Amino acid sequence: MELFLNRVSDGLSNGATYALIAMALVMIFKATTLINFAQGEFAMFGGFIVLVLATERGLPMWVAVVVGMLISAVLAAGIERTLIRPFDPANHLPLVIITLGLFLAINAIAGIVWRFDPRAFPELFPSGNALTYGTATLSWYTVGTLATIAVVSGGLTLLLTKTKVGLAFRAVSSNLESSELVGIKVGPTLQFGWAIAAAVGTLGVCVFVASPFRQLEPQVMVTGLIFAVSAAALGGLDSLGGAIVGGLAIGLVQSIVVPYSPIPNELSLLAAVVVLMLVLLFKPSGLFGTPQVERV
């Protein structure tokens, strides 16, 4: 029982990262029906920026995180403006190719600049446990990751429902043509979406590697993206709330499956992909997505 609780705790904290990256994917998908295959690399790059700010510039950890999020938001906004906006949003092929190109290029740049040796990432949450029950422990890390999701979720909700740009974003996600007709400029609105997605993704990577068991290295999000895609699909590709549920679910699947393989990663990735296939096969709109994603 206590072992199980520990596994649940692990699963939730892993799931938190998948949830955050999944939220980033959903932000962009909602507005453009495009999956940004480079999302993981954006996040990883942001993570390195945070690391540099914290270790080389000596910024306090959370300040580094926030600044890193801002920087990655700006970079993503720049990428949207130069590489994405020139293309007709309805035509996916060039855009998918561009995101693949970005995947390769950003991964390579990270490898060139920071090499491939894993780096320790400073902890974001107090070490130690918040609760113990026999041998089961609930680490501050797990609590912290879940709290992060709550804060991000709350923040995004406020942003989307109470601000003008948030309203514009929701409008563009709902009906592009009508949005233009009320005067919304689609380009800058999408740019906002890309920026927010990058920031959330960066936070996701930071939370992921801030664990004493993990380190930051350029390949960290290559398989991580698959987990996030599964999470997003499970939750419904256009549902932010669904991304959270999906992320936590995938995290739990991963940690409960772990005991059955001496090479944990192998089986858990397989499990995530199986979930993805099942979702796409039987309920493509996921748990909370709008069915219009399905072909009529």
Partner 1 sequence: MSDSSAPAANPTRSGERVLDVKGLEGGYGQIQVLRGLDFHVSDGEIVVILGANGAGKTTTLRAVSGMIARTGSVKLRGDEISSAKAPDLVRRGVAHVPQGRGTLPELSVEDNLRVGAYIRSDNEIDADIERWFDVYPVLRERKNQRAGSLSGGEQQMLAVSRALMSRPTLLLLDEPSLGLAPIIVAELFERFAEINKETGMTMLVVEQNAQLALGVADRGYVLESGAIFAEGPADELINDDAIRKAYLGV
Partner 2 sequence: MASTPRFQYTLGTPAYRTYKWLGFGLLALLLIIVAFAYNDTGSIALLDNDYKISVTRVTKAIAFMVAILGLQVVAGFTGQLSLGQGFFFGTGAYISAILIADYNWSWYLTLPVVITVCFLLGLVFGIPALRIKGLYLALVTLGLAAVFPSLIKLDSFAKYTGGAAGKQIDYEFVQPSWVPLDAVADAFHKIPLIGSYFGDGEGLSSKEEHRVWTFIVMTIIALACFKMVSNLVKSRPGRAIRAVRDNETSAAVNGISLSYYKTMSFGVASALGGVGGSIYVAELGIASEGDFTQLLSILFIVGMVVGGVGTLSGAVIGGLVIAFVPDWASSTQSLPGIPERWLQGPTGGLILGILLIVLTFVLPGGIISGVRQIKAKFVRVTPPRPALVAVGSASTSTLSDDSEADSGPSDAESPTIADDS
- By CB under 8 A, what part of segment 6-25 binds partner 2? none
Binding residue for partner 2, selected from 3, 63, 100, 131, defined by CB under 8 A: 100
129-133 vs 136-139, strand pairing mode: antiparallel
Spatial contact of 201 and 225, defined as CB atoms under 8 Å apart: no
Contacts of 173 (CB under 8 A, 6+ apart): 30, 31, 238
AA identity, residue 43:
A
Q: Which among partner 2, partner 1, none contacts residue 266 (Cβ within 5 to 8 A by kind)?
A: partner 2
Determine, following the binding rule CB under 8 A, whether residue 27 of this chain makes contact with partner 2. no
First to last CA, the chain: 46
Which C-beta is closer to partner 2: that of 108 or that of 147?
108
Q: Which among partner 2, partner 1, none contacts residue 91 (Cβ within 5 to 8 A by kind)?
A: partner 2
Determine, following the binding rule CB under 8 A, whether residue 139 of this chain makes contact with partner 1. no
Contacts of 62 (CB under 8 A, 6+ apart): 124
Which C-beta is closer to partner 2: that of 63 or that of 277?
277
- Residue 124: phi and psi, rounded to 5, are -100, -25
Tell me the site size for partner 2, rule CB under 8 A. Answer: 53
Determine, following the binding rule CB under 8 A, whether residue 280 of this chain makes contact with partner 2. yes
Determine, following the binding rule CB under 8 A, whether residue 278 of this chain makes contact with partner 2. no
Spatial contact of 247 and 139, defined as CB atoms under 8 Å apart: no
Binding residue for partner 1, selected from 117, 162, 164, 295, defined by CB under 8 A: 164
Determine, following the binding rule CB under 8 A, whether residue 119 of this chain makes contact with partner 1. no
Q: Which among partner 2, partner 1, none contacts residue 267 (Cβ within 5 to 8 A by kind)?
A: partner 2
Q: Residue 142 and residue 192: Cα distance in Å, rounded? A: 30
Determine, following the binding rule CB under 8 A, whether residue 26 of this chain makes contact with partner 1. no
Mark out the alpha helices in 82-139 (DSSP H runs): 92-114
Determine, following the binding rule CB under 8 A, whether residue 115 of this chain makes contact with partner 2. yes
Mark out the alpha helices in the chain (DSSP H runs): 2-32, 39-55, 61-79, 92-114, 140-162, 164-174, 176-181, 186-209, 220-235, 240-257, 264-282
Determine, following the binding rule CB under 8 A, whether residue 174 of this chain makes contact with partner 1. yes
Residues that bind partner 2 (CB under 8 A): 33, 35, 37, 83, 86-87, 90-94, 96-98, 100-109, 111-112, 115-116, 222-223, 226, 229-230, 233, 237, 261-263, 265-267, 269-270, 272-273, 276-277, 280-281, 284, 293-295
